[in-house]
Amino acid sequence: MTKASADPVGLLAGTAAMIAVSAMACQYALLRLAVPGAISTAVMTGNLANAVLSAMDLLTDRHPLLPHDSTPLNRSLGRLFGFLLGCVVAAAAASLAADWAWSLPAALAAVAIAVR
pLDDT digits (tens, 9 = 90+) for 11-60: 777 787 888 888 877 877 777 777 777 776 667 777 777 777 777 777 77
- HEC per residue, 54-113: HHHHHHCCCCCCCCCCCCCHHHHHHHHHHHHHHHHHHHHHHHHHHHHHHHHHHHHHHHHH
Number of domains in the chain: 2
Q: Are residues 14 and 26 in the same domain?
A: yes
Pick the last residue of a domain from 24, 41, 58: 41
| Interatomic CA distance for residues 21 and 25, integer angstroms | 6
Global pTM exceeds 0.75 = no
Residue 10, pLDDT > 80, answer no
Which residues, 6+ apart, have CB-to-CB distance to 58 below 8 Å?
73
Q: Are residues 30 and 67 in the same domain?
A: no
Q: Are residues 37 and 49 in the same domain?
A: no
For residue 43, which amino acid is it? Answer: V
Q: Are residues 108 and 79 in the same domain?
A: yes
> Which range marks the domain in which residue 59 is found?
43-116
Among the ranges 67-76, 81-90, 96-105, which has the highest mean pLDDT value?
Answer: 81-90
Q: Are residues 47 and 33 in the same domain?
A: no
